[in-house]
Amino acid sequence: MGVETRIEEKSVSEQKGITALREILSKTDSVWITDLDDTIKESRRVLWADGKERKLHPETTIALLAINKAGIKLGIATEQTFAEILPFITDLSELTLNSKNPYALFNGLIVGEGGSVLKSAQKDLVVIAPKRVLEDKKKIDNGIKQILIPSKVEGRFYLKGTNPEEGTLVRPPPDENAYQASSSIWEDGPHQSEDPSYVKRYGKNQQVVEGLIAELGIESLRAFEAGNGTLRITGKFINKRHTLSLLAVYGYLDLSKTIYSCDGPNDLGLADKIKSKGGGVVAVSNAIAQLHGLSDYSATKVAGLGFAEAVSLIFPNEYIQAKKELQHLKLA
């Protein structure tokens, strides 16, 4: 088989995927749910022409407005807390719709803390984690305080049982109360895809925290590395797949009318569930191989630019219109 034939077959396959996604999103009450980190949010800040630095590209903002113009509800499924989510989506509502209402653009269901917390414009924040998880969260928060060893760098620590050469320097989150049903430790370092040596370095920190969980006799929590310098501690049996599947059972959304854009291992379960119900998946180019295998469309670009690439193909007219309206949004 020649190169030209393979390219042509890939092009036909991609076009079929875009057509399938369009069909899903043409249904009444369809929704586009997206992961945040490394799917639409960048791992590094970029400087915009208005002088602000954002973990976002203007093209991503244009794509989000295009989805809104197409009449599709926008939702989120992320490991982040609402303390992290709200400033981000408020800025996006102001940029795209000139609204200070954080839910003007993201007008669908928002699931945070890996499925532990949910909210929408119509519903107050609901913590769905069981009481045992909430109790054990307090235990692990207190336990982590005991194993933070001050480093020579102000505001940075290392975990007892490791050192900066083995693991990385870490920071506890500035406000523990921001986390309703989970915890995180922030680690100094790049995304592990940029420097694979950090897979081992971040992994060392994870081993220490897993040891602490076992030492405290906690059975309801697990620790996992997000890959971007964030060590998450969440309920063992709570995740995006479980929560959105439960919401679908109770009629809060229809997975057959849902598109999910994503990149990481913690997205795989939900992506697989959505595909099994007739929904669609968009994988940005930095997504893990299994997601590319599941996806209807695999973008050629990384993170937010890959997201914008997919949207521009699915909704070309809306994307062009949004681009005209937001032509002032540029990088410095």
Write the pLDDT tens digit of every residue in 71-127. 999 999 999 999 899 999 999 999 999 999 999 999 999 999 999 999 988 888 899
Indicate the pairing of strand 73-77 with strand 110-112.
parallel
Name the residue with higher pLDDT: 226 or 296.
296
**Three-state DSSP class for residue 154:** coil
Residue 271 has pLDDT above 90, yes or no: yes
Helix 197-215 / helix 131-146 crossing angle, nearest 10 deg: 110
Do residues 270 and 283 lie in contact, with contact meaning Cβ atoms separated by under 8 Å?
no
Strand partners, 197: none
Residue 68 has pLDDT above 60, yes or no: yes
Structure-token pair, residue 277? 């119900």
Instruction: In whole angstroms, give the CA distance from residue 40 to residue 302.
Output: 9
Strand partners, 119: 110
pLDDT at residue number 93: 97
Q: What is the mean pLDDT of residues 243-262?
A: 96
Question: Domain ranges in the chain?
Answer: 3-128+238-325, 131-235
Q: What is the topology classification, in CATH, of domain 3-128+238-325? A: Rossmann fold (3.40.50)
Strand order of the β-sheet with 221-225 is 148-150, 157-159, 170-171, 183-187, 230-235, 221-225
Q: Helices in 70-174 by DSSP H: which ranges?
A: 82-97, 131-146
Q: Spell out the residues 6+ positions from residue 3 whose beta carbon is closer than 8 angstroms to its own.
A: none
Write the pLDDT tens digit of every residue in 5-53. 444 455 777 789 999 999 999 999 999 999 999 999 998 899 999 999 9
pLDDT at residue number 6: 41
Between vectors from CA 18 to CA 321 and to CA 26, what angle results, nearest 5°?
Answer: 70
